């Protein structure tokens, strides 16, 4: 079947080819609204697909964005899923490139319109500063760039409020050993919820997990000193898994003896058991929001660098002794 051309659309609409081109351009207001709608309807009926090359020549854009991810890290797949779905809706394609010590470094000259950086990925040396960049990073707060992240303080506040409502006022917070900014904000939010309720969660109960090789070491040591918490807020997936192991070895049951709330992957938390409450990280939404902001910048929206925080909502588990129906409620801030 012969490919439908712009000339075919113009002929069917009874207009000049230049007029048809302007009507089909998202950025060109020179054609009246009624004419633009009619030409676009005719183009759709004919099955017209614009030439990518022609669009690139006329707009200076290739409608391709690159997603830079840290080569040595995992956990960004859902960010990619959200980014690709949003890009497709907006008529863009996504190119995924790893960055790191073992990844190719000559990526500054990629023929793309802009970039999304995930986690610790940073733009390669020589990147053209005229091409916009959006960063998805929970821990970055002072970059002169547009940053998308979770509302981390709110996540911690919701976790703390949930523990208080469960009358678990002798709780601890478990943070990763590197004490990154996002985890610190979640810990601060949790402490604020306890303070608001008139219960103290002092800094001595914000425990540092062990290093990657032995993440349970921090809570293990505290339990070994005789600490017996009735609640734990694990600030990451890894610390949640570590907490389950430590509590089990100490003979403490979840949730009968200790209520456990975790921030991160809801699916992973559910595998650990329905008794856990979780504040899910909106991973796919982070990717989608980053693409939204990037496309706006590519297409000319002049906005200053800003941190965009996505809201979260705690999903309660099913505490022992309560009906599943009663436990389906959630807490938001």
Residue 265, CB half-sphere, CA atoms under 13 Å: how many?
Answer: 15
Q: Are residues 318 and 200 in the same domain?
A: yes
Residues 248 and 259 in one domain: yes
- How many CA atoms, within 13 angstroms, populate the side-chain half-sphere of residue 197? 22
CATH of the domain at 54: 1.10.260.40
Q: Give the model's pLDDT for residue 272.
A: 65
pLDDT of the residue at 197:
94
Residue 1 forms part of a structural domain: no
CA gap 93, 253 in Å, rounded? 48
What CATH number should be reported for the domain holding residue 200? Answer: 3.40.50.2300
Q: Do 194 and 319 belong together in one domain?
A: yes
- CA-nearest of 220, 125, 123, 205 to 171 is 205
Phi/psi for 172 (5° steps) reads -130, 160
Do 104 and 252 belong to one domain?
A: no
Domain boundary among 20, 40, 59: 59
Task: Tell whether 173 and 219 lie within a shared domain.
Answer: yes
284 or 215: which leads in pLDDT: 284
Q: Where are the alpha helices (DSSP H) in 174-326?
A: 181-196, 217-224, 237-249, 266-272, 283-298
Does 300 map to a domain? yes
pLDDT of residue 72: 76
pLDDT at 263: 95
Say yes or no: 186 and 85 in one domain.
no
Q: What is the pLDDT of residue 108?
A: 61
Is 205 in the same domain as 325? yes
Looking at residue 326, what DSSP letter applies?
Answer: G
Is 100 domain-assigned? Answer: yes
Per-residue pLDDT at 164 exceeds 90: yes
Kindly indicate the confidence band of residue 18, based on its pLDDT and cuts at 50, 70 and 90: confident
pLDDT value at residue 94: 92
Looking at residues 75-84, what average pLDDT do you find?
90
pLDDT at 316: 86
* Any domain includes 139: yes
End-to-end CA gap in the chain: 57
Selection from 247, 287, 243 nearest residue 269 by Cα: 243
Assess if residue 269 is contained within a domain. yes
CB 308 within 8 A of CB 146: yes
pLDDT at 55 over 80: no
Looking at the structure, tell me whether residues 78 and 224 fall in a common domain. no
Looking at the structure, do residues 319 and 178 belong to the same domain, yes or no? Answer: yes
Q: How confident is the model at residue 105 (pLDDT cuts 50, 70, 90)?
A: low
Q: Which residue has the tokens 């005229």?
A: 130
Q: Which residues pair with 135 in a beta bridge?
A: 117, 147
Cα distances (angstroms) measured from residue 84 to each of 79, 197, 326: 9, 42, 37
Copy the structure tokens of residue 3: 């490919």
Number of domains in the chain: 3
Question: Among 248, 275, 247, 246, which residue's Cα sits nearest to residue 262?
Answer: 275
107 and 28 share one domain: no
Distance (Å) of CA 283 to CA 45, 148, 204, 238, 291: 37, 11, 31, 16, 13
Per-residue confidence band for 318, with pLDDT thresholds at 50, 70 and 90: very low
Q: Write the secondary structure of 271-302 as one string of H (helix), E (strand) and C (coil).
A: HHCCCCEEEECCHHHHHHHHHHHHHHHHCCCC
pLDDT of residue 329: 41
The predicted pLDDT at position 103 comes to 47
Q: Which of 128-142, 201-215, 227-241, 311-325 has the weakest average pLDDT?
A: 311-325
Which pLDDT value is given to residue 178?
76
* Sheet strands (E) in 91-222: 93-99, 114-118, 133-136, 146-150, 171-175, 206-208
Q: Return the pLDDT at 180.
A: 82
Q: What is the pLDDT of residue 190?
A: 97
Q: H or E segment at 163?
A: helix 152-165
Is residue 143 included in any domain, yes or no? yes
Which residues span the domain enclosing 45?
A: 6-59
One domain for residues 51 and 156 = no
| Average per-residue pLDDT for the chain | 83
59, 83, 103 — which closes off a domain?
59
Same-domain check for residues 166 and 265? yes
What pTM value is reported for the model? 0.76
Q: What are phi and psi of 318, to 5 degrees?
A: -120, 85
Q: d(Cα 181, Cα 138) in Å, to the nearest integer?
A: 7
């Amino acid at each position: 079947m012969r490919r439908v051309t712009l000339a075919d659309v113009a002929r069917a609409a009874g207009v000049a080819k230049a007029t048809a081109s302007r009507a089909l351009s998202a950025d060109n207001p020179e054609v009246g609204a009624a004419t633009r709608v009619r030409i676009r309807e005719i183009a759709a009926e004919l099955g017209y697909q614009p030439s990518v090359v022609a669009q690139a020549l006329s707009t200076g854009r290739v409608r391709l964005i690159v997603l830079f991810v840290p080569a040595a890290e995992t956990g960004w797949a859902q960010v990619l899923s959200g980014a690709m779905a949003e890009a497709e809706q907006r008529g863009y394609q996504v190119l995924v490139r790893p960055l790191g010590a073992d990844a190719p470094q000559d990526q500054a000259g990629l023929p793309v319109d802009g970039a999304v950086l995930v986690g610790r990925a940073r733009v390669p040396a020589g990147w053209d500063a005229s091409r916009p960049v959006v960063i998805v990073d929970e821990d970055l707060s002072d970059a002169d760039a547009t940053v998308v992240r979770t509302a981390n303080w709110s996540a911690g506040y919701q976790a703390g409020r949930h523990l208080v409502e469960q009358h678990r006022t002798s709780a601890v917070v478990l943070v990763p050993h590197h004490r990154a900014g996002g985890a610190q904000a979640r810990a601060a939010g949790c402490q604020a919820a306890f303070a608001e309720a008139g219960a103290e969660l002092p800094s001595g109960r914000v425990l540092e997990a062990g290093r990657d090789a032995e993440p349970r070491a921090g809570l293990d040591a505290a339990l070994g000193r005789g600490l017996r918490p009735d609640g734990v807020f694990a600030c990451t997936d890894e610390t949640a898994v570590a907490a389950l192991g430590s509590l089990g070895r100490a003979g403490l049951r979840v949730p009968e003896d200790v209520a456990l709330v975790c921030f991160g992957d809801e699916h992973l938390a559910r595998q650990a058991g329905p008794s856990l409450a979780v504040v899910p990280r909106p991973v796919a939404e982070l990717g989608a929001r980053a693409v939204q902001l990037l496309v706006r910048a590519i297409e000319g929206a002049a906005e200053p660098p800003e941190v965009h925080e996505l809201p979260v909502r705690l999903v309660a588990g099913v505490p022992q002794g309560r009906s599943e129906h009663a436990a389906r409620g959630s807490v938001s801030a």
